[in-house]
Structure 1
């Protein structure tokens, strides 16, 4: 049995994850499996206190029955139509979905389910996984894999930087430079991410590329490209540049929707390239 770690088990200890999944298996058998290599993470032996990371692959070769039953959520007709209308590309391996703002990717944080659980139910398979994720308030393209083999392949492509994503961003203020690069360090602190000019323990280098698409009187539409994919990277860097994203409630002035849209997705390995037009709402807000 193989398990792809999603956000529900991110940062959970390996032994606690296994105890949850294999309640009918004696604890001694689980620890023995870890010690002898019958349980591996990403093809390698691991320790029981290893903290699982997003997209880790846990392979279990034990006789015990998996205790957690795969019960799919019941989708309403409205939710099914919402999924169908949001699919911009689909084949037998991959789904590219155009997520609306304020849709959550996964269950948790007060949500019983997200679009990941909805797609598992839609396709009637627990092997469906999103290999990238965007914030709840961010809209645009996310990449879904229909089985574990494709999940592993795509997750590796994302980790190695072999995929490309571009964003349309509406920010406050008139941005002066037509093109610019932001190279800083980001560090998680409690409920926010802070930006640092130099490295310190726990910080990660963060690089973003920007160019101006259109200018208004007091707002600017940018294109943003990530070289690194840190939490809230574009949001924090632009806020500290004094050009916060319009509608960003955490790092800006807030609003009904945040104007950060993942419009471009390219996966060369699968010969997939999707580009969506600039939403009309961005043009309208630019004139205000």
Structure 2
């Protein structure tokens, strides 16, 4: 099995069923067993785009294993508040922490994901650049996508509704959500104070549709899986306020509590058609454990 290699990763397609550690030991036969275990522990190995550290993780024929080089791993560790989930010549997919801006804000000197990624790619070649595709609010954590070429950016942005196959969030909201699932539909309008609210279509509202399922909860808080059918500014935050269950800490949209000391919203899954290869790529980051603890 001949790997596909670049400066940062070696990529292997699994030919026969096995488990991850034995595969790594056979593949990296020039390294000691402890060195191979360290590579796994440091999160340098991904399977089908998902970081795996489990030694006995089962591998099936056709799955793709990516092994990040030690040098690239050191470079990634220099990043603050963001983790690279996947990178190729066209795109970078990250997991963004709450509190990190997606791009530059009012303070141009504030560290943000865009600037860090720009510095990251320029470390290999000064002509490299990062391009904005979509955004997450500062206080929302989770999966984000950036482009590495103008062509990839345009292909994604111009066909966003077609290429994005799934956008799923996890939200912790105030109150006990009684309905197991539901759909919220309205027309969203932004006022002069930059606050978005549901209003009539006749006043310039943009059609917005949000689907939700209750995953867990107690008498005080509920955990919801939220899927966007449309992607309007602050859509989830407004729609959950509309049904009387604002996201915790979201004072702007009606919240009265702050039990997590952060906004209770996490971008869990992003699935899309790759702008160059036309493959379906799917990336999932589990919500913070604090979300789960709060609703027990």
Residue 280 of structure 1 is matched in structure 2 by: 289
1:105 is aligned to 2:102: yes
What CA distance in whole angstroms lies between the structure 2 residues aligned with 1:84 and 1:245? 22
Q: Deviations over 1:116-150 (max 9, x none)?
A: 12211111146311311111111101101111111
Residue 229 of structure 2 is matched in structure 1 by: 227
Q: Secondary structure at the match of 1:160?
A: helix
1:264 is aligned to 2:269: yes
What CA distance in whole angstroms lies between the structure 2 residues aligned with 1:211 and 1:149? 36
What CA distance in whole angstroms lies between the structure 2 residues aligned with 1:91 and 1:83? 21
Residue 140 of structure 2 is matched in structure 1 by: 138
Distance of aligned partners of 1:272 and 1:135 in 2 relative to their CA distance in 1, 3 Å threshold:
same
User: Are 2:187 and 2:201, in contact at CA under 8 Å, matched by a contact in 1?
Assistant: yes
The worse-fitting range, judged by mean Cα deviation, of 132-141 and 244-253 is 244-253
Between Structure 1 and Structure 2, how many residues are aligned?
210
Pairs within 5 Å for 1:1-288? 81-82=78-79, 86-113=83-110, 114-124=112-122, 125=127, 127-160=129-162, 162-189=164-191, 190-196=193-199, 198-251=200-253, 252-253=255-256, 255=258, 256-268=261-273, 269-287=278-296
What CA distance in whole angstroms lies between the structure 2 residues aligned with 1:104 and 1:80? 18
Structure 2 gap segments, 5+ residues each: 1-73
Q: Secondary structure at the match of 2:263?
A: coil
Q: Deviations over 1:83-141 (max 9, x none)?
A: 59611122222211111001011112234352112211111146311311111111101
Structure 1 gap segments, 5+ residues each: 1-76
User: Are 1:174 and 1:215, in contact at CA under 8 Å, matched by a contact in 2?
Assistant: yes
The alignment yields a C-alpha RMSD, in angstroms, of 2.2
**Offset at residue 254 of structure 1 (A):** 5.6
What CA distance in whole angstroms lies between the structure 2 residues aligned with 1:194 and 1:85? 30
Q: Secondary structure at the match of 2:201?
A: coil
User: Are 1:169 and 1:224, in contact at CA under 8 Å, matched by a contact in 2?
Assistant: yes
What CA distance in whole angstroms lies between the structure 2 residues aligned with 1:254 and 1:145? 37
User: Are 1:129 and 1:145, in contact at CA under 8 Å, matched by a contact in 2?
Assistant: yes
User: Are 1:80 and 1:122, in contact at CA under 8 Å, matched by a contact in 2?
Assistant: no
User: Are 2:76 and 2:83, in contact at CA under 8 Å, matched by a contact in 1?
Assistant: no
Q: Secondary structure at the match of 2:171?
A: strand
What CA distance in whole angstroms lies between the structure 2 residues aligned with 1:253 and 1:111? 31
User: Are 2:163 and 2:272, in contact at CA under 8 Å, matched by a contact in 1?
Assistant: no
What CA distance in whole angstroms lies between the structure 1 residues aligned with 2:105 and 2:287? 31
